[in-house]
Amino acid sequence: MTVSIKSPEELDALRVAGRLAAQLLEMIGPHVRAGVTTDALNDLCEQHTTEVLHSRSAPLGYHGFPKSICTSVNHVVCHGIPNDKPLKKGDIVNIDVTVIKDDFHGDTSAMFYVGEPSIQARRLCETCYEALWVGIRMVRPGMRLGDLGHAIQTYAEGHSYSVVREYCGHGIGRQFHEEPQVLHYGIPGTGLVLEPGMVFTIEPMLNAGKRHVKLLPDGWTVVTKDRSLSAQWEHMVAVTEDGVEVLTLREGETPP
């Protein structure tokens, strides 16, 4: 496994890309409401990315992906393809965006409520967000990725949720997906030892039911096998000399 250590100049470029990705999520949030299609959200994001952020949408055309963002609704775990089905009150939706600015990627995702969610849905989304931050706070030089994954898994399962194992976080930079793979479960004391200058995403996916998932025939959309609700949050982080820097913080975001 070859994990690139980013130079100060590369880190500056990734800060810019991360900030733009965060701004894209800030922009789209108010548009997530009943009656709006995920296709419409996709078009708004594409327009904003090109015309306002002066960037490119990384998912568009990536290995044939047909849209500019991923929209995963209710029991969709990840990689949902925007479509013409209107959102309805009570839905929860993950919007996953990645922008390319000056050849560097900014990658982040967040959960949004369509109207008032059920108590179960809100608790799932909030616990997933807390699990993300459990992982982020583990990041520092000398830490092993197995410790990070174990901390997220322990927190999630301690709240009676399951952790999806087939999909994980990843290194990022000039390439959309680089080494290392960042698992959201693991064994303490195992895995890559983190060093300053490493940049990767942490993006746990928690299910209200069992952890098992399946891929739909479109080749992209991943759903829970038992059709239970699923939630995901994602931030892009850099390992610093003494801890961690979150590169995709949204305006006014307050960690739990």
> CB-hemisphere CA count at 13 Å for 213?
25
| Full-model pTM | 0.97
Confidence check: pLDDT of 32 > 80: yes
pLDDT tens string 76-94: 999 999 999 999 999 999 9
Taking only the tens place, the pLDDT of each residue in 39-59 is: 999 999 999 999 999 999 999
The domain that holds 61 is classified in CATH as 3.90.230.10
| Cα separation values, 114 from 89, 91, 109, 227, Å | 5, 5, 16, 19
**How many structural domains does the chain have?**
1
Q: Residue 142: is its pLDDT beyond 80? A: yes
227 sits in which H/E element: none
Cα 75 to Cα 11: distance, rounded to the nearest angstrom:
35
Write out the residue range of the structural domain in which residue 19 sits: 8-246
Decide if 253 is inside a domain.
Answer: no
Residue 169 located in a structural domain: yes
Quick: pLDDT tens for 154-186.
Answer: 999 999 999 999 999 999 999 999 999 999 999
Residue 78 lies in a domain: yes
Identity of the amino acid at 26: E
* Share of the chain residues as helix, strand and coil, in percent rounded to the nearest 5: 30, 25, 45
Is residue 110 predicted with pLDDT exceeding 80? yes
pLDDT of residue 1: 75
Q: Establish if 254 belongs to a structural domain.
A: no
Whole-angstrom distance, CA of residue 194 vs CA of residue 170: 13
> Is residue 256 situated within a structural domain?
no
